[in-house]
Structure formats: structure tokens, C-alpha cells
Structure 1
């Protein structure tokens, strides 16, 4: 099973995406706060990160940079920008 971490503050969108991906045997963990998402990556291994750019507290591009400092996980940017 593919493990995906979604860092997305729009919980309705996160739920829709999670339900869709789970149809294809993908496990999705959603974090609405960027710092929680970064902490989650320290504790668990993921095959993919879906990252929103408009996050509260820390810009998504900065989150992307922080992920790259420690992890080699693929990142898909999800944004309305």
C-alpha cells in the first residue's frame, strides 16, 4: 500500500482527495498544520507528500524546503495560486 502524507488546511478538499486515493489502495494521512506535517515526516515514512502552498503559520514553499533538507520523498504541490 502506498502511504501518502497530505499537508492541507482545507479539510473538505483533503477529505475528497483522501476518499478518491483510498479507492486505489493508497493510505492518506492528513495534517492541517504545516508543523504537524513536518513532525509526522520525522516519525513515519511516506511514499509521497501532497503539499498545499497556502498554509497557516508557514508558507508551503518553506515547508517544501524543510522537507528537502531531511527527506527524499516525492512532493506534489496542490495550490490555487
Structure 2
């Protein structure tokens, strides 16, 4: 929930400073009142994945359904809901 709150703050409050043609810009610093005008592609993909995972749990469920992941967690002593 905190991530979604932050995302909404970034978009609705800082949007005119950090949102552009390709989504969010690379960086900003509110203390120094500095906003990048560049984009870093490696940041864009994970944002979409994280939003979808928050919304539906899709990525978590797919990851946890992998037998290799389940075995690895069991060997490390972790428990999880199947």
C-alpha cells in the first residue's frame, strides 16, 4: 500500500516535474529541488510489473508455483501457502 501511495504522490503531486512522454523520469531530489529530464529504461519495466503484482498477485503466484522455487524454499527452511 505504501508503494501505491508513493506512486500516486509522484504522479498527482510531482507529475508535471517527473512525468513525461516515457513515464517517470530517472530521478529527483526534493531537498535540493532538482528533477532529472532524462529517462532510464531499466526503471520503466519493473514499475509495470510491480503494479500488476500489487493489483492481482500474478507474478508472485507464478513464481511460487514453480517447483524449483518450492524445493529451494523448503530446503532453506521457509514455509509458504500452496
Q: TM-score range by the shorter chain?
A: under 0.3
TM-score by length of 1: 0.23
Structure possessing the higher radius of gyration over alpha carbons: 2
TM-score by length of 2: 0.23
Q: Which has the higher contact order (CA 8 A, sep 6+)?
A: 1
Q: By percentage of residues, which structure has more helix? A: 2
